[in-house]
Amino acid sequence: MTGVQTCALPIFEEDYLKLESFCIAHDLILEDNQAATILSFSYNAGWQGFLSSSMARDLISKNIEKVTTDLLKWNKIRINGNLVFSAGLFNRRMQESKCFIDEGQCA
């Protein structure tokens, strides 16, 4: 195990346990790539950001096909108190969306 893996595991373990509890509570079964996408998003947006998102609501409602559309909505950053489109964040969300759909697209 590399030093990066050793440092990263405790950070993601907490989020993984939260995701696992979320899935159990809502009777969800996610593929590994889908779980990886949710973990990536929640790491960046925060677990509360995920829980309050349309993504979480659609997962709970079993509208899995809508999750990628929901994910792409999170493409803005705050500058001087205003939400502004971020091409970099949009690209990140596109990659996460591809990963959610197809495990082969996870980088």
Report whether 57 contacts 73 (CB < 8 A): no
Mean of the per-residue pLDDT values for the chain?
87
- pLDDT tens figures, 77-106: 999 999 999 999 999 999 999 999 987 777
Encoded tokens for 43? 């790491």
Complete DSSP assignment for 38-86: HHHHHHHH-HHHHHTSHHHHHHHTT-GGGHHHHHHT--EEEETTEEEE-
- Kindly tell me if the per-residue pLDDT of 9 is higher than 70: no
pTM: 0.82
